[in-house]
Amino acid sequence: MTAQTLTIAYKCRCMAAEAEILVRARGEREDIADWVREAVQVALSSDHMARSPLCRSPTVEHCKIPMPENAPYVGAAPRLDS
């Protein structure tokens, strides 16, 4: 069984364009704040550090978490049976 992932886009002021990262989908009973902190923030920080090691901005301009119509909740992978 493979883990489901979401493609999340983000942009920092040091970047000319958005970047996309793969993040594991949020579990059904997983608190959204925990998921953002433990999955999204970790993946985003790692990707940003690799792209812009000298950037010291404490925040990003935006982070877009997709919400497909066939996903049951924010951070969930879309249902395959739809």
| Chain segment 19-70, per-residue pLDDT in tens | 999 999 999 999 999 999 999 999 999 999 999 999 999 999 999 999 888 8
pLDDT of residue 18: 97
Residue ranges in 1-82 assigned as alpha helix (H): 32-35, 41-51
**Beta strands at 62-64 and 5-11: parallel, antiparallel or unpaired:** antiparallel
The structure's pTM equals 0.85
CB 57 within 8 A of CB 48: no
pLDDT of residue 3: 67
pLDDT of residue 1: 37
pLDDT of residue 68: 84
Residue 6 CB burial class (10 angstroms; 0-12, 13-18, ≥19): buried
**Residue keyed to tokens 């493979």:** 2
Q: Is the pLDDT of residue 82 over 70?
A: no
Helix (H) or strand (E) holding 7: strand 5-11
